Structure 1
């Protein structure tokens, strides 16, 4: 039983459906982006005590934020609980994938996923772009990830430079439309929960000044591959590399 969206996706990659008691109700949209149909027929949960007792799982995967409450429930059904931390690097992804692989009895499958990820990263490292492009992972401006985040690592492995590293707070910064335009990154990255359109919270990125200044310079990306540490996060770096190659040369003009 998985009670965290990130472990939901990893669990679906590691074990067959008939071994999964349930995944969270949050998983479906992300699974449709990454592995369409992979969750078909799998029960969902909302992390409630009633669901834990009714499903009586042999193992519970939880985030550190939900672990304390979930641990009490796990004790009632006598199921071990594994805390899955957030990943901020590809090293973290390797560690977490191995952790979950061992917990569910699929260490070999975990190593296959890691090997596939590492092959993609090696491909990126062999063919570094000669033209450095500065990007901002900016949608609403509320949180712009900088150094020490998985987003920053994906940007770096894609061969780009993360604007947020210029900010006073290296990990997470905030800035609005005016600040973004003044900073003049070469491109803007906009996270989407699904590929069929941005979320309402990203409406500010449709500001007329942004649309004008960054026409042909706005890159959409699957938010789950940047928020969750998954082997497919290497695919995110490959996708970003390909998108950056299409960014017009020369600085932003308006």
Structure 2
């Protein structure tokens, strides 16, 4: 048989085989079709990575949490409260939960033949890469996971390539509450923004900052969680202390609690936003 004819025959055979054996659907390839999330952080990862048609349920916190990052993403998706009844009713073929998932939930999931993927908390951008890849692989969206990581890394690379002229000293403090120190996601965000988290410095008290400790540390700016769910929150009474209000008027910067709590790619955006907020501080306010 002439080479050209052999090539044509082979092509026809491949086409016929494709018609007889069409590409496997997502369900046939073992890709989960009814995914349930039992944690607000896994809610956000699931909403970012997976088509709505394959999301069976997210937690009751998801609509408001998602509103701060991608408005409307959770609209119309059934909600759960993490109960055994919810799992029985949803009949998921994959469950996403935190690394502290309830043993009872795992037992019920095993009885229903629903794998549970335990997603750890993220305390760094390396952790975020890990959890995004973990969830991406579990839900069958590896390419989408890599795209989100690439976008996050591009933001971080741009911040690193253009450092601020001066590294301002900051602390996440709302008044009398625990302050995130070394090894926290907030510390990673502050560092990526080009600032210094004074609660992560050697010898810093990583538990609480009272007014006296705060004034003695004299940071250039105060960060406080308050932009979660698109709504400002009230600072505590201590955070409204007269001396604090006087010395830090115009130098308190609200951040999105969600991106400082959950390991999502948008945590890099929070670092970029913090960089911009710090750069916008009046010169006389920044100088200490």
Aligned match of 1:109: 144
Instruction: Choose the corresponding residue for 1:19, options 39, 50, 54.
Output: 54
| 1:59 aligned to which of 94, 108, 133 | 94
Asked whether the 8 Å contact 1:184–1:252 carries over to 2, the reply is no
Native 8 Å contact 1:21 1:57 kept in 2:
yes
User: Equivalent residue of 1:10, what SS?
Assistant: helix
**Contact 1:185/1:252, CA 8 A, preserved across alignment:** no
- SS of equivalent to 1:190: strand
| 1:176 and 2:210 are equivalent in the alignment | yes
- CA contact 2:66–2:229 (8 Å) conserved in 1: no
1:206 aligns with 2:240: yes
The answer (yes or no) to whether the contact 1:140–1:204 under 8 Å persists in 2 is: yes
User: Among residues 117, 129, 142, which one is paired with 1:82 in the alignment?
Assistant: 117
Q: Could you list the per-position Cα deviations for residues 201-245 of structure 1 after superposition, in whole angstroms to 9, with x for gaps in the alignment?
A: 645322222211101110001000010110111100000000000
- Whether the 8 Å contact between 2:63 and 2:73 is mirrored in structure 1 is no
Q: Please name the residue that 2:187 is paired with.
A: 152
Separation in structure 1 between the aligned mates of residue 96 and residue 179 of structure 2, nearest angstrom: 28
Q: What residue in structure 2 maps to residue 233 of structure 1?
A: 267
Worse-superposed segment, 65-74 or 42-51: 65-74
Cα offset, 1:164, TM superposition? 0.1
Change (3 A) 1:212 1:52: same
TM-score of the pair, normalised by structure 1: 0.94
The structural deviation recorded for 1:251 is 6.3
Cα drift, residue 48 of structure 1: 0.3
Structure 1 residues 169 and 59, CA gap change in structure 2 (3 angstroms): farther
- Number of residues of Structure 1 aligned to a counterpart in Structure 2: 252
| Residues 139/233 of structure 1: CA separation in 2 closer, same or farther (3 Å cut) | same
For 1:244 and 1:141, how far apart are their aligned partners in 2?
23
Q: State the structure with more CA Rg.
A: 2
Give distance in 2, aligned partners of 1:137 and 1:27: 25
Match of 1:246 in 2: 280
Q: CA RMSD in A?
A: 1.8
Matched, 1:73 2:123: no
In 2, the alpha carbon distance for the partners of 1:252 and 1:125 equals 21
Match 1:10 to one of 45, 49, 54: 45
